[in-house]
Amino acid sequence: MSDLEGEEPLVTGSTGVRARVCAQARGLDAWSVGSRRRAVEDHLRFARHSGAAGETERARLEAELPEWQRIEALLESSGGARYDPETDPVAVAAAEEVRRREQAAADAQEAARRSERERREGALRRAEDLLDLAQARTLDASVLVEADDPHAWPMLNRRSPAAVRQVDAWMAKALAAGSGALADPDVRAAAWEATPHRVTAHALLLQALANTTGGPVNEDLPFVGALAEAAPEATEQLARWLAATPGLT
């Protein structure tokens, strides 16, 4: 019997803890298991008086102790046998559950890797399409932004600088107008985070100029894109200044 009887109830161990204790108890007799149980009790008593420093150890020991107690009682009722987790239905079920969880985790990791690979492949195809449209001079407002377009920029940056500038301008105009998939506020917010700073600065300046003039602005003004590419932070500051300065709006 435990010498901790009468103290606060001990929590039942998780499946992983149970499987680990059962594996550690393999081949032990009742006396050896009792020795392990007493050692856990001693360590638990110390951990309970260690304050915050012993909190993690206390939680681990409180989870392990019921398993050592259960195995000890099982062996005491068996008449001198040594513990074999393969003949213990509780241990077998715990081991199977651990294997199931490990397989589920491995499957989830593989699914995540496959999803990331597909996303990158899709972004590469989209980058190629955008570059083709830019080089053909047909990348205009009729081409709608897709939700994953911001992920194409790492591929775009390694290609034709002139074509990339056209794609930058197209995306900035879409961000400023909230067109295509960017009409969805959540998609637009995510795109704003994922798109390069020079593009978002360009979009901010377009918005500020439109508000300043009180009507549509010529989105093809060459200085807007040039400023954003050369000094995105300064461009963003200019946009915010235009939006905040009385008498300009």
Burial of 165 (0-12, 13-18, 19+ CB in 10 A): middle
Instruction: Report the pLDDT value the prediction gives residue 246, as an integer from 0 to 100.
Output: 61
| Dist CA 4 CA 21 (whole Å) | 19
The pair of three-digit structure tokens given for residue 198, joined into one six-digit string: 């020079």
pLDDT tens-digit series, residues 37-80: 999 999 988 888 877 667 888 888 999 999 999 999 999 988 77
Task: Report whether pLDDT(213) > 80.
Answer: no
Radius of gyration in angstroms for the set of CA atoms belonging to the chain, rounded to a whole number: 32
Residue predicted with more confidence, 179 or 93: 93
Q: Is 120 helix (H, G, I), strand (E, B) or coil?
A: helix
What is the average pLDDT across 77-98? 89
Instruction: Report the pLDDT value the prediction gives residue 52, as an integer from 0 to 100.
Output: 67
What mean pLDDT, rounded, does the chain reach?
84
What is the average pLDDT across 200-219? 79
pLDDT tens-digit series, residues 129-142: 988 898 888 888 88
pLDDT grade, residue 8 (50/70/90)? very low
Residue predicted with more confidence, 4 or 147: 147
Task: Report whether pLDDT(214) > 70.
Answer: no
What is the residue-wise DSSP string for 82-102? PP-GGG-HHHHHHHHHHHHHH
Show Cβ contacts of residue 51 under 8 Å, excluding neighbours closer than 6 positions: none
CB-CB neighbours of 244 under 10 Å: 10
Show Cβ contacts of residue 59 under 8 Å, excluding neighbours closer than 6 positions: none
pTM: 0.58
pLDDT tens-digit series, residues 142-174: 888 888 888 888 888 777 788 888 899 899 988
% pLDDT > 70, the chain: 88
Residue predicted with more confidence, 11 or 65: 65
In the chain, what are the domain boundaries?
A: 15-87, 120-244
Per the CB < 8 A criterion, the answer to whether 176 and 207 are in contact is yes
Closest CA to 15 of 86, 107, 102: 102
pLDDT tens-digit series, residues 222-247: 788 888 888 989 988 988 888 887 65
